[in-house]
Amino acid sequence: MEEFGRKEIIIVGDRVLIIPDTDKDRSEHGLYLPPSVKEKEKVQSGYIAKVGPGFPVPNPNFIDQESWSPTPKEPVKYIPLQAEEGDYALFLKDQAIEIEYEGKKYLIVPQTAVLMLIRRKAMSGLEK
């Protein structure tokens, strides 16, 4: 199979791509936790690598328009997501879908399953 340039991951809709936090494999004291302990947890965490465009919103001016109509339809608009690339997210583990891409594990999570985001603020020269 021939490769046509570089590959890019495109996340669709209201989903986010998360790199799971692997530090949670250990306890606070450095002991490795068995899989049975990790499976009982309902919340998982990780860093957001990519976000989808958001929730699609139909244009009310074009709802009644027939598909064969000669006037072009306006592109779909989206309500953007709160999550941004680089945020640390806590999310419901049972709604995450685990994938492996080019040897790395990722999770695809709908924004509705994200419980909390931790975002670093940019430091400006005016703040102390």
Q: Please state, in angstroms and rounded to a whole number, the distance separating the CA atoms of residues 103 and 49.
A: 15
Q: Where do the domains of the chain lie?
A: 15-58+77-118
Percent of the chain with pLDDT over 70: 65
Q: Which CATH superfamily is domain 15-58+77-118 in?
A: GroES chaperonin (2.30.33.40)
- For the chain, the C-alpha Rg in angstroms (whole number) is 20
The amino acid at 98: E
Please, what's the b/e burial string for 51-79 (b: 16 or more CB within 10 A of its CB; e: otherwise)?
bbbbeeeeeeeeeeeeeeeeeeeeeeeee
Q: What is the pLDDT of residues 23-53, one digit of tens each?
A: 666 555 566 666 666 667 888 999 999 999 9
- Torsion sign (Cα): 87, 122, 80, 77: negative
